[in-house]
Chains A and B, each alone.
Chain A
């Protein structure tokens, strides 16, 4: 039986509504012909129609397949089968793969192999039209940058007190203009600044200053070294095509340990940030995925599992963001390395990263021997050498405190220059 746990289930089925429907479906009376092989788990689920849905989970992902018409991925049937596999594993015993399971797995293998092949870059259908579109885009971006710079100058002239009195609509209008100018990254920064008014004026001041520096850098992009220019373009929100990354980069092969995932949702768009750590190369990687509405993510990464394969890193002076063409689960590999350091050592590393890439907004750090603690409604990580502020809700803070019980933990998270957003926490004496 696959050694999937509740954590695996939650990593694989990230949509809470789908998971709930899956839990409701995880009843033996709903399923027939359940089975498992070294490659897959499968079963037939009785839906509302006369013909049962054929459901398969490829164990190498896990990857889901279901014959139902749902566009949600994984669908409730896939989720239900995984819930059964986790919670009622005795119901699923080893069996020979039926024809339909074998067919799908073979097709999937072929697809995966094809994916790993270099993507042939298609020549544009109409190079002239494309050049024209590109020129228009560059012009719109330049106008947007000019307008944002004027707005920032106006803010500096009239002062933060005036800015903070402005209604949300003013900020939103400015952000909307940036979206129209194809600068969504800058629009997001404005959205993030709105809640900083009032008590977080210091942060707002910093954010405005850094935004200005980014605008100036973007305007002078052609003068920058290529990796800096690429980083600035990404910060503006310009999409870098995977084909272009593939052309420019070679894959970094490693055994990638999934440290944890951060899932956020805004306006029905779900963002998943998956942090990986290369066991051989000892480097971090960030996989960024998006899913709209109830649709799930096209790939699944199980927290704490190890995957083998190559990652392609997006260009930049300190590349972190990457994508994978093919990663295979390696259940037999258990990570033993715990690259955590005292806070001071990690902050020194952050300092070096900022020198290398002043545009980066968050840094992966992994600190050792810290105890989560609260003081005057603010959360900190206490180390013998000092305290680091933490960005977390009360529920998250108290959950960490409950797990720690005052004993030191190793905590991995995203450091934004002011505070740490925890992604993964383990007790000092835990296995990993």
Chain B
């Protein structure tokens, strides 16, 4: 008499099927009773056995032995306080908006005020940062000890916070950025040793990495560096030659600079008189002189319109703009309009812009930017590398230029595309006066429902305002929405509502930083 079910046999039978198997099952007698008179008794028997075994297994389930695999260690205690309920609300809002940029801003705040991400948000925030390794690293860092502990155990995160194995020998084993950082640091402490280290390895360095290493020479550049740099003017790699030429052009008292200035000043002169007016006169070189290679002047350059303008353009681009100002006794704001009027304006403006950026000459940078901003000539903006010039101006200058542009935009809608672009590309927080004028402009430009309208510009501007407007402006925006509600295109109102919502969230983010941490 059978009292139990042979589970192994029923498993074998279930796989093969009772029609093909050469064995049979036995059931306890009380279960066999149910099969009397059934066709296919073997199949019924198997199904009863499977069902009964399943129920018995469920009813008799025991925990798996705890030594089947090692237990997790315990996460260390947290030295930093977690965000409170308001901070959790902000985190939730960031997750809802799937906005990595906003998260990054919040992490900056957390960093500045020594707060950490609550444990419950680590995994969702890591999901938000899936495609952004740097952001994911920051999330783990700002998740405190719990973040580091999770990273240690999570198979996809454990590389994100691994200690830097190149720390002991960054020059030989580090990434290009780590090697450059090491060189900068060494140069700060011991310039001669840094030069020696760089010179010793120059032949082995790849042409891709070399320009980045050469950039480390910018700080404290002196004649002592010239012997390291000059041989690189003969490099086969164009980028290396260009980097070397730019460095030599900046070495104070390097004899090549005087030669170069003499060479170029013979081809760029200020002519005319008070009555007829002054103008810049350009005489292009007739042929390429191979000796120019010693200054980093290439036979061909795509930055200039023609082969001959390229030779002159490259010469001017290496000369400090201050020399032209002194030679012609003109300020940059006088020279730039003269260059604009010249038949070779594209060459002169591009060369002045390159020189202004290379020699970090603020007056020329501002003069070129003003020229480029007060016209809708997109070609000019690109010729003078407007974006690079804009990035090089200081905050006060940028603010003052923006104010001028906003005033101009309120008066006439010219150049507002450029203004929206500048605002959008700026990471600076807007000052209250600028914020007020920008909001006035935004209100002023509100379209009526049927107006044709530059929506791309409005979106760009609203994006910039969402990011850089002081959060306290939210009530001003709410008032704008109420006053515009009946007269303005609904899509424009939506932009304003999104702006108000973002400003309120940014305010909550700030408020949450000083909120007490919940008791554990």
Given known pairs A402-B150, A405-B74, A405-B119, the reply for A209 and B53 (CB within 8 Å) is yes
Q: Is the CB of A24 within 8 A of B64?
A: no
Kindly list chain A residues whose C-beta atoms are within 8 Å of the C-beta of B11.
Answer: 202, 205
Cα-based distance from A202 to B72 in the complex (angstroms): 29
Cα-based distance from A354 to B71 in the complex (angstroms): 31
Is B391 positioned at the interface, with any CB of A under 8 Å from its CB?
no
Which of A153-161, A179-187, A285-293, A319-327 touches B? Answer: A153-161
Q: Mark A368-383, 1 if CB is under 8 A from B, else 0.
A: 0001011100001011
Cα-based distance from A383 to B68 in the complex (angstroms): 12
Q: Is the CB of A159 within 8 A of B16?
A: yes
* Distance of B320 from chain A, by nearest CB (Å): 54
Q: Is the CB of B75 within 8 A of A406?
A: yes
Given known pairs A153-B40, A385-B63, A407-B74, the reply for A87 and B89 (CB within 8 Å) is yes
| Beyond A207-B54, A213-B48, A399-B123, 10 additional pairs, beta carbon < 8 A | A27-B478, A29-B482, A86-B89, A87-B89, A162-B17, A208-B14, A351-B59, A387-B63, A417-B57, A418-B61
Q: Please report A residues at the B interface, Cβ cutoff 8 Å.
A: 5-6, 20, 23-24, 26-30, 46, 48, 86-88, 152-154, 156-162, 201-202, 205-213, 216, 343-344, 347, 350-351, 354-355, 358, 371, 373-375, 380, 382-389, 395, 398-399, 401-403, 405-407, 417-418, 429
Q: Is the CB of B119 within 8 A of A157?
A: no
Given known pairs A27-B497, A210-B51, A212-B48, the reply for A406 and B119 (CB within 8 Å) is no
Q: Is the CB of A402 within 8 A of B119?
A: yes
B46 is contacted by which of A156, A375, A386 (Cβ under 8 Å)? Answer: A156
Which of B221-229, B298-306, B440-448, B500-508 touches A? Answer: B500-508
Kindly list chain A residues whose C-beta atoms are within 8 Å of the C-beta of B127.
Answer: 395
Is B451 positioned at the interface, with any CB of A under 8 Å from its CB?
no
Q: Is the CB of A386 within 8 A of B62?
A: yes
Q: Is the CB of B478 within 8 A of A399?
A: no
A210 is contacted by which of B54, B63, B520 (Cβ under 8 Å)? Answer: B54
Q: Is the CB of A159 within 8 A of B17?
A: yes
Residue of A nearest to B496 (CB): A29
Cα-based distance from A152 to B48 in the complex (angstroms): 11
Cα-based distance from A158 to B47 in the complex (angstroms): 13
Is B18 positioned at the interface, with any CB of A under 8 Å from its CB?
yes
Q: Mark B9-30, 1 if CB is under 8 A from A, else 0.
A: 0010011111110000000000
Is B425 positioned at the interface, with any CB of A under 8 Å from its CB?
no
Residue of B nearest to A6 (CB): B92
Residue of A nearest to B60 (CB): A351
Residue of B nearest to A374 (CB): B153
Question: Considering the complex, which residues of chain B in the window 28-75 have a beta carbon less than 8 Å from any beta carbon of chain A?
Answer: 34, 40, 42-44, 46-55, 57-66, 68-69, 71-75
* Distance of B158 from chain A, by nearest CB (Å): 13
Q: Is the CB of A158 within 8 A of B19?
A: yes
Q: Is the CB of B481 within 8 A of A29?
A: yes
Given known pairs A157-B40, A375-B69, the reply for A429 and B55 (CB within 8 Å) is no
**Residue contacts A-B, CB under 8 angstroms, 9 given:** A156-B42, A344-B62, A347-B63, A351-B59, A351-B61, A375-B69, A389-B64, A395-B123, A402-B146
Q: Is the CB of B508 within 8 A of A87?
A: yes
Cα-based distance from A388 to B68 in the complex (angstroms): 12
Cα-based distance from A88 to B154 in the complex (angstroms): 37
Q: Which 5 A-B pairs have the closest CB atoms?
A: A386-B63, A209-B50, A159-B17, A209-B51, A417-B58
Is B120 positioned at the interface, with any CB of A under 8 Å from its CB?
yes
Given known pairs A29-B478, A386-B66, the reply for A88 and B504 (CB within 8 Å) is yes
A386 is contacted by which of B17, B65, B123 (Cβ under 8 Å)? Answer: B65
Is B307 positioned at the interface, with any CB of A under 8 Å from its CB?
no
Q: Is the CB of B43 within 8 A of A153?
A: yes
Is B333 positioned at the interface, with any CB of A under 8 Å from its CB?
no
